Amino acid sequence: MDATYTTKEAAAILEIGQHTVIHHIRRGNLPATKHGRDWSITKHDLDAFIQQRRTPGRPPTHKVCSRCHIEKPMDAYASKSTEKWGKQNACRACQSLHYQEQRANGTWRDAEHLRIYKRTYYAAHKEYYSKKHREWIAKNRDTWNAWRRAWGRTPIGNASNRQRLLSRRARLKTTQNDLTRAQIQDLMQRQRHCAYCKKKFSATLPATIDHVIPLSKNGPHTLSNIVLSCQPCNSSKGNQLRYLL
C-alpha cells in the first residue's frame, strides 16, 4: 500500500504552509481524500504535485492570504523581496490590521527600536554568529578570499584594510586609539581630495590614512588626529610635522 501523508506532513515536505496545502487540495491541484478532520494524500499524488511545481510556469495571478485565508489578486499584497513571487504572505488589509493591533497593544516597534533590538541581540549572541561565520569561511574558502580581494580593491575597503593595519600598530604604541572602521568609511564619503595637495582621490591615487601628529611622536589614533591624504603626500610627510606649521 502506498504511503500517505497528512496535510501537516505534506506542508513540511513541500516547505509551504499547511493552509496553502489545503488550498491546493480545495482547488483540485492536489488530489486527496478526506480523513476525519484532515486530508490524506498519497505519496504518488504528492510526488506528481512536486514534479508539477518544479516545472517553471508563469507567476500566479492570485494567492491565498495567510491571515484571512481568502484568495486575492497579487496586487492586494505588499512587496517583500525575500518571499516567493516577491509578495508578503498576508494581504495589505490584514497586514495593516495587524500593525494597528500592535500599535494598540503596545507591541509596535519602529525602525529605530528594531535596529537597537537587532544590535543588542547580535551583541548577546556574538559568539554564536562568529562561530557560524568561521564555519562558513572554512567551507567556502575560495569564495571568501575572492570577496576579500574585491573588497580590498574598492576605495573604502582599501582604506578599511589600512585602518586595521594601523590600528594594530597603534595598539602597540598608544593607549589613545578609538578609531573605528565606520568613522573611516564616513570620512571617505566626506573627504574626496588629498588634505595636502588637494588632488582628487581615484583608483590610481587612492586615499591613505594619515596621522597629523604621527604615531611615532605619540599622536593618538583617533578621528581628531586623522586626515586622508594621497600616498605621495603621506610618504613625503614621513615623521615630520611641517604640514602643521
Site residues (vs Zn ion, CB under 5 A): 65, 67-68, 91, 94, 194, 196-197, 230, 233
Distance CA 208, CA 232 (A): 10
Q: CB 65 → Zn ion: shortest distance, Å?
A: 3
Residue 159, number of CB atoms within 10 A of its CB: 21
- Joined together, the cell numbers standing for residue 49 give 504535485
Q: CB 16 → Zn ion: shortest distance, Å?
A: 17
* Cβ-based nearer residue to Zn ion, 18 or 174: 18
Q: CB 204 → Zn ion: shortest distance, Å?
A: 13
Q: CB 225 → Zn ion: shortest distance, Å?
A: 18
* Cβ-based nearer residue to Zn ion, 18 or 176: 18
* Cβ-based nearer residue to Zn ion, 32 or 227: 227
* Cβ-based nearer residue to Zn ion, 76 or 137: 76
* Cβ-based nearer residue to Zn ion, 41 or 64: 64
* Cβ-based nearer residue to Zn ion, 69 or 133: 69
* Cβ-based nearer residue to Zn ion, 53 or 80: 80
Q: What is the CA radius of gyration of the chain?
A: 29
Return the axis-axis angle of helices 155-173 and 181-190, rounded to nearest 10°. 130
Q: CB 48 → Zn ion: shortest distance, Å?
A: 30
Q: CB 244 → Zn ion: shortest distance, Å?
A: 16
| Type of residue at 222 | T
Q: CB 192 → Zn ion: shortest distance, Å?
A: 12
